Amino acid sequence: MASHTITLNLPETVYEQIQQAAETARRPVNDVLVEAIAAVAPVVNTASDHLRAALAHMAYLNDAALWQAARTTMPPEQRARLATLHDKQQYISLTPEEQAEEQALLRLYRETLLVRAQAAVLLKQRGYDVFDPEQFTPLV
């Protein structure tokens, strides 16, 4: 992806906030600024744009909140319902209502995976061993 260089004049207090966030995240100030700008850049109001912004905002979460996000799973009832719909779809067609429900549950599952993955990446960048089974919980 192409990048563009710009000069940005920030008030001292804003720069200090960005610098502190970068130090906390152990990342370069430039990376934190790019993520912050990307998160608030004008976007078309679609679910994927909101998800992209939410994932970018995760960089500002503290370690405890990231660990919680990394362990997030779909509720067991929703996982079971999605499995039931997939099983049913193997043998007979789903009704339009069931298809809509299946698509919504599948979207939730994918979003849950993305949140877990982003949290794991951020924790790894902060020096945590996200593959340590005592710290990280499997998806199911």
Across the chain, which has 140 residues, the per-10-residue mean pLDDT values are 82 87 83 72 61 84 88 92 92 91 92 90 84 60
pLDDT confidence of residue 102: 93
60: phi then psi, degrees, rounded to nearest 5: -95, 0
Does pTM top 0.85 for this prediction? no
Lookup: tokens for 125? 């960048």
Closest CA to 119 of 48, 75, 65, 73: 65
Through-space distance between the first and last CA atoms of the chain, rounded to whole angstroms: 35
Let me know: does 119 contact 58? Beta carbons within 8 Å.
yes
Domain ranges of the chain: 10-60, 62-140
72: phi then psi, degrees, rounded to nearest 5: -60, 135
